[in-house]
Every structure is written in structure tokens, then in C-alpha cells.
Amino acid sequence: MSLPRTLTQFVLALFVLASVALCQEPADLVVRGGAIHTVDDALGTVRALAVRDGRIVAVGGEDEVSPLIGEDTELIELDGRTVVPGFIEGHGHFLGMGEFAQVLDLTRAETWEDIVRLVAGAAEEAPAGTWIVGRGWHQEKWRRRPVPDVEGFPTHELLSSLTPDHPVSLTHASGHAAFFNRRAMELAGIDRDTAPPTGGEILHGPDGEPCGVFRETAATLVDRVRTADLSRRPPARIRADLRRAAQLAAEECLRNGVTSFQDAGTPFSQLGALEELAAEGNLPVRLWVMVRDGAGRIEREFAARRTKRAGNGYLTIDAVKLTIDGALGARGAWLLEPYADSASSTGLGRMEDLERLARFCADVRTQFCVHAIGDRANREALDVFEAVLEDREDPTGRRFRIEHAQHLSPADIPRFAELGVIAAMQGIHCTSDAPYVVARLGEGRAREGAYPWRSLLDAGAVIVNGTDAPVERIDPIASFDASVTRRAADGTRFFPEQCMTRIEALRSYTRDAAYGAFEEDVKGTLTPGKFADFVVLSQDILAVPDDEIANTKVLMTVVGGEVRYRRP
Ligand SMILES: [Zn+2]
């Protein structure tokens, strides 16, 4: 049915009048006087921006936007500073980040002895029997090899002698291995004959006893004792602890200019805390959550929990996460050819639920996000995506994701664009892993397939950036810097021919990250109509010299038009 022509014109005229009237209504907030990078190709860089009811209503020159300043309009004068869209953390662990803020931070340890000292100190303060928990150690980042060592990892004796009454659990920076002391292993009933579960490995010392290091699924043999202790907390306490973790994580996001967070895997048991916070209006950053749980439970319960922009736009639960291999540092990444520094190993792969969950996600039209680091794991995921999506409507538009996509066979690089698969990669992993990537993969494989951003982008793939927080600090500036320089801490550059350009790196943190979650209609660019989520930076990350990028400070973080963080 079509309206008579004059009526159509009348309706159109009314609409135009209404929008003009709306535009002239004063803004709640106006920002002006600096470079405002909209990351919208049609708008480019502007000098002023206006917000009403949590959304952007106008961008342009100062003279175009200033008429929207009324008596009650909050005015932010940039004085030459820079605005970019709010950073979207493309792969992190929101509640894990909040929990990390409450356990021993081992990321800065320079030797194994540093860690032993920290843990022994914490044990002295805690009642006997209390678990001492730490996270973030990485043997490749220490100044010297521990003595004695097993494959470069420490053994438990020294630590155990200082912590006889406290079980100790120290998670590797990658999250794919853990270290336990004697007390923890005793409580779990581990001895020299304990067999590891599928997809896991228990490292033994020369005496044949477990040395304390448990890879991948093996870590759960010990951690389940702690998990059981935790599960005996009263439900109200569990909920309060989760809410506290969410609050701490959100504060850290805001300090770093992160306005949206793509959470890489929360189990059903923890979703309630996030749903509750969103419903109360107490989530200060926007979450997009992948559900990670058993395949059967996902099939049964996903539909009931699925939600889009609940709590006034702060909580989306609309994706499923599955992990099919481990990390490179701990030699858990699943490779097509053996490790260069461990000829007998190609890593650890787990295919059990890959096809089953891919079919489920394709059937219910939700995004499927597969953790794959090694080239074999990536190929398996792409093969299954291809087979499962092939005969469905809109096969390339489903935006299935590979989380990390860290090491790829050159043959698989074009498949990301061909299949419409999002590569959710972490710029900062490239430079922090650089010290051992060549050792693990050898020069040739590292050159052609490790963090191959340039090759992926040139082939037309969409890259979503992030930090995998708390594996790395949730610092978008550091990850942006790594993405455009690939410069490691020691100053060396890791195959710089694979660098992103500045604008590509910014897009990977904003526009493309929003696309990676089907959220480009409301996020990722400073386009009128979208959420007023943006960040004021001390300097222009698209213009300062390379060496200056890291000195950029987040001065202000605005979510939904509200200033949620101001740098003191
Ligand atoms: Zn992760």
C-alpha cells in the first residue's frame, strides 16, 4: 500500500519540522575545542559534539553545535585535547578482572624467588588452611631461570617449605596452567601416580613426583578443592562477592577509557549477578557477554538468559564461548607441526563440543566464539564454521568469531574474510609474548603467521582488539601502541611488516569491535543517534610520534553522556 503523494509529502514535512525542533532543544552536554575523531568515514574529525538523553545528537564545527548550548547544558572545553569513541574491550574476563584485583598480583615478579617471598608473606597474615591465591606469573618474563626447573617452570619444594599450612594456587598469566604447593596437592590427593584428565598434563620432577605445574584441564584436579570450598559460601555471600568483583572491574575499565566490554565467557551460575546489576542500573560500563558452560546446559538454558541491551543498554547476553586449545607460552596451543622447542609436542586440542555448539549457535542465530590460538585449532574451527554455515541463509553474515586467532597458517588467513569470521585478537599479546614466540614456532612460522594483522586486514577480515584482561592490564593505549608499532619492552620490533595503521588500530577498538558484536547501530563511532560513549585523551593518538603513544593519558570517560571518570 502506498500513501497518496500529497499525504506522503505532508508526513515528510512534519517529520522534518519535528527533527528541527528536536535539534534546537538544548543539549545536556556539549564538548568542543579539540580534535574529535568520530571514526565515522562520512563525518571524519570534527570540533564539537552534543549529547541529549544519553545519545549523540549533533557533531560538527563549533558554530554548528554551539547553538545547542542552553542554560543547563554541561560544557566540556577540550582546550586542544582529543576525543575518540569509547574503547570497546574486545575480549576480556570481566568478573575475572574484579577477582584478580583482590588476589596476589604476580605480573610484576622478576624472579621465582620474588613470587615465593610474596606468597610466604601472604601466608603469614592468613589463618592456617586459608587458600593463598595469586595470578599472572610467567616464567618467560623472569630475569633468570628458576633452580631447579622442569621445562623452564619452577618446582614446588622451596615454596612448600615456607607454606606448610596453607594451600597455594598460582594461575599462569595465560590462564592455561597453574602452580600448586604441597599442601594444595595433598588436599587434592595428588601423588606420583595421578593420571591427568584428557586435555591436561601434570609435570613431574626428575624424582618422578609432581613438581607443582598443572597444564590446562589438569589444573582442575587441584582447583576443584578450592572451588568446593568457595561453593560452601552462603549464596548471599557468593552474590555479594560477584557484585564486588563487577564493581572493581568496572572502575578499572573507566580509568582506562573502556566504555564497553566484551566478556569472553561467564557461566550460567554467575550471570545472575550481572543481570541484577543491570536491572538496578548499577552497571557503569556496557557488557556484551558470551556464555561459557557445558554444551548440554547451553542447549537447555541459553534461550532463557539471552537478552539484548537490558538495563537501559548495559547488558547483552547473546553469544556462546568454547575453548578448543591452550596458550602458546605453556605449549598448550594446538599446532599443525610440532613446537620448535619441543619436538614431541603439537599442543593440546579439544574438539568434543565444537561442531555441536556451532550447530546450536547457527540454529538459534547467536554468535559462536571459539578460543583458538594455534594454527591447527584455528583450522579446525574454520572448517567446522564452514561446514555448519554452508547451507544456511546468510552464511557469511553470522559473524562467528575466533578468539585470539593468534597463530595462523597462511592458507587460512583469507578464510576469515571469505567466511565472515571475526578475528578477536589482542594487540598487547603480540609484544608481551614476543620474547618466546620465535622459540616456540621457529622464525619461519612466526614471520608468516604470528599475529598476522596486516595479512588479515589486507584480505578483508574484521579484527576486534583487546587485552584478555586480567591476562594483560586492560589498557587500550598499550594495546593500540602494540598494534601500530609491534615494539616489545626491550625495544625490538616483532615482524613490523604486520603492523596496523593508526586508524585501523583505532577502528579495531571502536567501530570494528562494535561490528564484532552486532552493535554497530549503537556503538563504535560518534555518529548522531548512537550512545554518547567517548573518551577524552591528553593527546592525539592518531598524530603523535610513535614513541609518544604510550604517554597518552585517559583524562575523562563518558558513558551514555555521563562523565563516569575524571583523571585526578
Ligand atoms: Zn580469554
Report the share of the chain in percent with pLDDT over 90: 89
> Would you state the pLDDT for residue 163?
97
For residue 138, report the distance from its CA to the centre of ligand 1, in Å: 16
> Would you state the pLDDT for residue 37?
98
- Examine residue 113 and state whether it is found in any structural domain, yes or no: yes
Q: Is the dihedral of CA 396, 400, 404, 409 positive or negative?
A: negative
> Would you state the pLDDT for residue 404?
98
For residue 418, report the distance from its CA to the centre of ligand 1, in Å: 25
> Would you state the pLDDT for residue 175?
82
pLDDT band at 22 (very low <50, low <70, confident <90, very high): low
> Would you state the pLDDT for residue 365?
97
Specify the CATH number for the domain of residue 194: 3.10.310.70
Dihedral, CA of residue 13, residue 15, residue 20 and residue 21, to nearest 10: 110
Alpha-carbon distances of 222 from 71, 194, 208, rounded to whole Å: 62, 11, 18
Taking only the tens place, the pLDDT of each residue in 178-209 is 999 999 999 999 999 999 998 899 999 999 99
Taking only the tens place, the pLDDT of each residue in 417-432 is 999 999 999 999 999 9
Cell of 506: 583505532
Cα-Cα end-to-end distance for the chain = 59
In terms of domains, do 242 and 225 share one?
no
> Would you state the pLDDT for residue 199?
84
Residue whose entry in the numeric block shows the C-alpha cell 566478556:
263
For residue 264, report the distance from its CA to the centre of ligand 1, in Å: 6
For residue 369, report the distance from its CA to the centre of ligand 1, in Å: 11
Q: Containing domain of residue 322, as a range?
A: 89-93+234-519
Cell of 97: 578482572
- Examine residue 101 and state whether it is found in any structural domain, yes or no: no
In terms of domains, do 512 and 365 share one?
yes
Residue range 297-309: mean pLDDT, rounded: 98
Specify the CATH number for the domain of residue 343: 3.20.20.140
For residue 215, report the distance from its CA to the centre of ligand 1, in Å: 16
In terms of domains, do 322 and 415 share one?
yes
For residue 37, report the distance from its CA to the centre of ligand 1, in Å: 29
Taking only the tens place, the pLDDT of each residue in 277-289 is 999 999 999 999 9
> Would you state the pLDDT for residue 391?
86
pLDDT band at 364 (very low <50, low <70, confident <90, very high): very high
For residue 529, report the distance from its CA to the centre of ligand 1, in Å: 32
- Examine residue 397 and state whether it is found in any structural domain, yes or no: yes
- Examine residue 99 and state whether it is found in any structural domain, yes or no: no
For residue 424, report the distance from its CA to the centre of ligand 1, in Å: 10
In terms of domains, do 372 and 441 share one?
yes
In terms of domains, do 32 and 131 share one?
no
- Examine residue 185 and state whether it is found in any structural domain, yes or no: yes
Residue range 387-408: mean pLDDT, rounded: 95
For residue 88, report the distance from its CA to the centre of ligand 1, in Å: 15
For residue 263, report the distance from its CA to the centre of ligand 1, in Å: 9
In terms of domains, do 457 and 318 share one?
yes
Residue range 243-251: mean pLDDT, rounded: 96
For residue 175, report the distance from its CA to the centre of ligand 1, in Å: 8
In terms of domains, do 505 and 534 share one?
no
- Examine residue 102 and state whether it is found in any structural domain, yes or no: no
Q: At what angle do helices 268-280 and 235-255 cross, to 10 degrees?
A: 70
For residue 71, report the distance from its CA to the centre of ligand 1, in Å: 47
Taking only the tens place, the pLDDT of each residue in 3-18 is 445 555 665 555 544 4
For residue 101, report the distance from its CA to the centre of ligand 1, in Å: 17
In terms of domains, do 419 and 362 share one?
yes
For residue 413, report the distance from its CA to the centre of ligand 1, in Å: 21
For residue 111, report the distance from its CA to the centre of ligand 1, in Å: 25
Q: How many domains does the chain have?
A: 3
pLDDT band at 394 (very low <50, low <70, confident <90, very high): very high
In terms of domains, do 473 and 568 share one?
no
For residue 255, report the distance from its CA to the centre of ligand 1, in Å: 21
In terms of domains, do 226 and 239 share one?
no
In terms of domains, do 430 and 443 share one?
yes
Taking only the tens place, the pLDDT of each residue in 88-144 is 999 999 999 999 888 999 989 999 999 999 999 999 999 999 999 999 999 998 999
Taking only the tens place, the pLDDT of each residue in 202-236 is 999 999 999 999 999 999 999 999 999 988 999 99
What is the pTM assigned to this prediction? 0.85
For residue 9, report the distance from its CA to the centre of ligand 1, in Å: 53
Q: What SS3 class is residue 262?
A: strand
What is the widest separation between alpha-carbon atoms in the chain?
A: 91
Specify the CATH number for the domain of residue 541: 2.30.40.10
For residue 136, report the distance from its CA to the centre of ligand 1, in Å: 13
For residue 121, report the distance from its CA to the centre of ligand 1, in Å: 29
Residue 527: is its pLDDT beyond 90? yes
In terms of domains, do 227 and 249 share one?
no
Residue 157: is its pLDDT beyond 70? yes
- Examine residue 98 and state whether it is found in any structural domain, yes or no: no
For residue 92, report the distance from its CA to the centre of ligand 1, in Å: 6
- Examine residue 356 and state whether it is found in any structural domain, yes or no: yes
> Would you state the pLDDT for residue 13?
53
Residue range 527-551: mean pLDDT, rounded: 98
For residue 466, report the distance from its CA to the centre of ligand 1, in Å: 10
